[in-house]
């Protein structure tokens, strides 16, 4: 049920009147707990506030023993209250004492209370406390009650800080010495080197007034702000038309759809109807979305939290009149916890040099935009609160290293790295349009991995022989619904046109694991190990309509041209044959209807499941090509999750065992006359590429940025010498032959 008979609007006014009234701050807080308990029909209402040292202290209560106030303390993460604060999420418990996080404090007398509903108290996006109600009997708190308590907690946050129950300085996190040089590493999201000064991203607009006096006026203000918000997104779409590629436009179109989402707008209006100002209603909807989506196991939905945060903050700026666009100093390195794509585009692109994120993933919308702007990006950086405005920074987007307030030695190393990079880029650029042939005349085909239309101009720039892997799922991930056959056909046709006769290998949808489509129905039970679960071809075979639509679009797009289709994560020959059968049925369907078909169709598999290696004898006569996906093959072979930081570097692809397996594959394919390539990250790293060529691989598909360095290496190596040396390493007894290969490269003047 909703808060008591007095109604939510009157309750909020009561709270404000009490906190603005006479008496000490503690007395007023005690009154507040009584009002909340009465309106929530609860026998206990308690307020815990976060103190220095990450300690939650009981500040006021109605229903627990009074002597527990300021005496009961819980560490962050300890007990149910600590768990609510640590994860910034509400908890509704019918039987709180059976919860594994329950921590009994005898001085409170809470053992007689069974059910509990608790919500975090947030200020500026940071948890400053917990508000909880309890009842003696087992009680299922409704969703309306949980939302009502969250609204009360929002107002309480304003009242707590305005009454100075928590000193302002306690709301600021301090960490470490603020003057010494520091270095730390994050996750590289976009390559590049940059030096500049820190600019702290605009903090969320602070909501100062929560309780509305005139709901009709608040509704009018909200409608005006929503209209202005949509107009500003349209203006961004116009401004960015000149950027290369089309992904930024796809992102902003999706962004505009979010702004028009009826469910989101309805939640905003419901907030106003409950007695909140328009600003507070936006803030409440943002908190609810963050709690609902941020805890999701779905990676795509977690990334959408950033977009919704961005959208909410922009709407708040329109409501409050706060400045949207900010002037940057030259050489600005933008610092943010998270960032939405439109927020990044708000900044002056001529002055921006790099981006550092506390969160961030390679496929997030903001990273796609940053790549279009040619900005180095590093994510998963903890401790960004150490950085002050205008602090000098060096950012290495290739390694993920960040230097805060760097010393002279770091600056010197940076200048040398820039000089070396400039020289190497020039050397790489000089060979891009030259043949990829070793010094002793062996041709090595270098092809490009792609997945977005923004990648296509790089095909000509890099001199790549073709696209050895086009990841079709990325086009699905930047949309809010399944693209129909016509939309897919248009995308694939544009890829083939950009290739201008060079070969293109389309990989069918590799969704699942960390690549989730939010608009696709998921199993109600989350997968324990999604990397080994329902993904890639398994999804396509279980949902044949999805796979058939994609195959049909590819066939239509390739009319009169050559088409190559590759199926991912094939574990059994029967899976490949079933998928190939769907392809042939779609081809026969076109021919039966007299629709133009491709000039030729080649079909292949990605070899990434080790089980397929023992089926090569039966498989190879039935495929036109094989592409080894080393990223998944390595993790499946060693049973080592490649996203687990504890296992990074534990198993080296340059181990004798893995290299022997790779030699077996290439020899079996060569004997069968089947083209074989490598399309994993291994192909794009010079030392690993050297080993692959020595093993006999003559086709590598790699990121566009890696083609120059690998071609530079190929043109200077003697293939026979490399082959002879790599063969001697296969009997090595160590865990890796990386050092041996590096010494060989240095001895022969090869750039690694």
CB 685 within 8 A of CB 700: no
CA distance 217 to 209: 14
CA distance 364 to 235: 22
Q: Is 719 a catalytic residue?
A: no
How many angstroms from the chain centroid is the CA of residue 719?
A: 40
The answer for 140, left when phi > 0, alpha when psi is -120 to 50, beta otherwise, is beta
CA distance 231 to 162: 35
DSSP 402-447: EEES--HHHHHHHHHHHHHHHHHHHHHHHHTTS--B-TTS-B-EEE
Q: Residue 301 is encoded by which pair of tokens?
A: 């939905």
Order of all β-strands in the sheet with 44-51? 73-75, 55-62, 44-51, 126-135, 115-123, 91-93
CB 199 within 8 A of CB 384: no
Q: Whose structure tokens read 């309509």?
A: 545
Closest CA to 180 of 380, 416, 387: 387
Q: Whose structure tokens read 């394919």?
A: 669
CA distance 251 to 239: 14
Please give the helix or strand (H or E) that residue 744 lies within, else none: helix 738-747
Query: 3-state SS string over 472-493?
Result: CHHHHHCCCCCCCHHHHHHHHH
Catalytic residue among 365, 669, 719, 743: 365
Q: Whose structure tokens read 């328009």?
A: 278
How many angstroms from the chain centroid is the CA of residue 144?
A: 31
CB 117 within 8 A of CB 146: yes
Q: Residue 721 is encoded by which pair of tokens?
A: 């010498």
254-to-74, 357, 515 alpha-carbon distances in Å: 43, 22, 18
Q: CA dihedral in degrees (207, 212, 217, 220; nearest 10)? A: 50
DSSP 290-328: HHHHHT-S-HHHHHHHHHHHHHHHHHHHHHHT---S---
Please give the helix or strand (H or E) that residue 195 lies within, else none: strand 193-200
Instruction: Give Cβ neighbours of residue 387 (< 8 Å, ≥ 6 apart).
Output: 198, 200, 335, 356, 393, 404
For residues 729-746, b (16+ Cβ closer than 10 Å) or e, as one string? beeeeeebbbebbbebbe
Catalytic residue among 45, 669, 679, 719: 679
Q: Residue 392 is encoded by which pair of tokens?
A: 């000098």
Instruction: Give Cβ neighbours of residue 677 (< 8 Å, ≥ 6 apart).
Output: 445, 447, 468, 625, 626, 627, 628, 683, 697, 699, 700, 701
Which residues are identified as catalytic?
A: 365, 679
């Amino acid at each position: 049920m909703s808060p008591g008979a007095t109604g939510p609007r009157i309750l909020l006014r009561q709270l404000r009147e009490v906190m603005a009234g006479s008496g000490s701050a503690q007395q007023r807080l005690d009154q507040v707990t009584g009002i909340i308990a009465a309106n929530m029909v609860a026998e206990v209402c308690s307020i815990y506030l976060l103190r220095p040292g990450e300690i939650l202290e009981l500040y006021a209560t109605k229903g627990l023993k009074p002597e527990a106030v300021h005496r009961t303390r819980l560490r962050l993460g300890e007990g149910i209250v600590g768990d609510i604060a640590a994860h910034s999420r509400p908890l509704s418990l019918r039987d709180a004492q059976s919860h594994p996080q329950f921590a009994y404090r005898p001085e409170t007398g809470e053992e007689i209370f069974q059910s509990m509903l608790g919500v975090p108290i947030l200020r500026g996006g940071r948890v400053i406390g917990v508000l909880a109600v309890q009842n003696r009997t087992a009680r299922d708190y409704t969703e309306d009650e949980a939302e009502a308590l969250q609204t009360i907690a929002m107002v309480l946050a304003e009242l707590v800080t305005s009454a100075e129950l928590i000193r302002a300085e306690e709301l600021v996190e301090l960490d470490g010495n603020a003057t010494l040089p520091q270095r730390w590493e994050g996750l590289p999201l976009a390559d590049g080197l940059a030096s500049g000064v820190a600019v702290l991203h605009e903090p969320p607009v602070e909501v100062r007034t929560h309780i509305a006096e005139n709901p009709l006026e608040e509704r009018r203000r909200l409608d005006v702000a929503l209209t202005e918000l949509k107009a500003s997104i349209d203006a961004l779409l116009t401004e960015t038309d000149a950027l290369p590629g089309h992904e930024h436009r796809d992102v902003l179109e999706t962004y505009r759809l979010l702004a028009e989402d009826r469910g989101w707008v309805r939640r905003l209006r419901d907030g106003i109807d409950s007695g909140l100002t328009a600003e507070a209603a936006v803030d409440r909807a943002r908190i609810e979305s963050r709690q609902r989506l941020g805890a999701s196991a779905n990676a795509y939905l977690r990334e959408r939290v950033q977009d919704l945060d961005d959208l909410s903050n922009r709407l708040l700026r329109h409501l409050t009149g706060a400045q949207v666009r900010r002037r940057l100093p030259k050489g600005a390195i933008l610092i943010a916890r998270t960032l939405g794509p439109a927020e990044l585009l708000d900044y002056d692109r001529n002055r921006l040099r790099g981006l550092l994120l506390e969160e961030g993933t390679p496929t997030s919308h903001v990273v796609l935009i940053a790549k279009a702007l040619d900005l180095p990006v590093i994510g998963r950086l903890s401790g960004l609160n150490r950085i002050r405005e205008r602090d000098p920074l060096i950012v290495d987007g290739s390694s993920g290293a960040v230097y805060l307030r760097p010393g002279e030695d770091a600056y010197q190393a940076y200048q040398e790295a820039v000089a070396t990079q400039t020289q190497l880029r020039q050397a790489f650029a000089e060979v891009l349009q030259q043949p990829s042939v070793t010094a002793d005349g062996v041709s090595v085909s270098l092809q490009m991995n792609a997945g977005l239309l923004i990648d296509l101009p790089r095909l000509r720039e890099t001199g790549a022989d073709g696209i050895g892997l086009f990841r079709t799922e990325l086009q699905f991930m930047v949309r809010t619904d399944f693209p129909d056959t016509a939309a897919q056909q248009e995308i694939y046709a544009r890829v083939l046109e950009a290739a201008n006769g060079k070969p293109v290998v389309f990989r069918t949808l590799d969704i699942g694991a960390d690549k989730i489509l939010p608009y696709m129905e998921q199993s109600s039970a989350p997968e324990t190990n999604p990397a080994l679960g329902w993904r890639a071809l398994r999804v396509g075979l279980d949902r044949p309509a999805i796979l058939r639509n994609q195959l049909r679009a590819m066939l239509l797009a390739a009319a009169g041209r050559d088409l190559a289709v590759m199926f991912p994560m094939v574990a059994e020959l029967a899976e490949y044959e079933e998928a190939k059968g769907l392809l042939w049925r779609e081809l026969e369907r076109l021919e039966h209807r007299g629709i133009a078909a491709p000039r030729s169709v080649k079909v292949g598999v990605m070899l990434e499941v080790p089980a397929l290696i023992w089926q090569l004898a039966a498989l190879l006569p039935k495929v036109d090509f094989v592409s080894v996906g080393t990223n998944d093959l390595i993790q499946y072979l060693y049973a080592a999750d490649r996203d687990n930081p504890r296992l990074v570097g534990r198993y080296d692809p340059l181990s004798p065992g893995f290299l022997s397996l790779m030699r077996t594959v290439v020899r079996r394919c060569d004997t069968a006359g089947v083209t074989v390539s490598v399309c994993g990250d291994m192909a794009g790293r010079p030392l690993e590429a050297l080993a692959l060529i020595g093993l006999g691989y003559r086709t590598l598909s790699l990121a566009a940025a890696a083609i120059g360095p690998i071609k530079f290496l190929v043109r200077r190596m003697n293939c026979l010498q490399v082959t002879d040396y790599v063969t001697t390493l296969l009997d090595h007894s160590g865990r890796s032959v990386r050092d041996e290969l590096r010494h060989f490269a240095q001895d022969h003047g090869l750039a690694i």
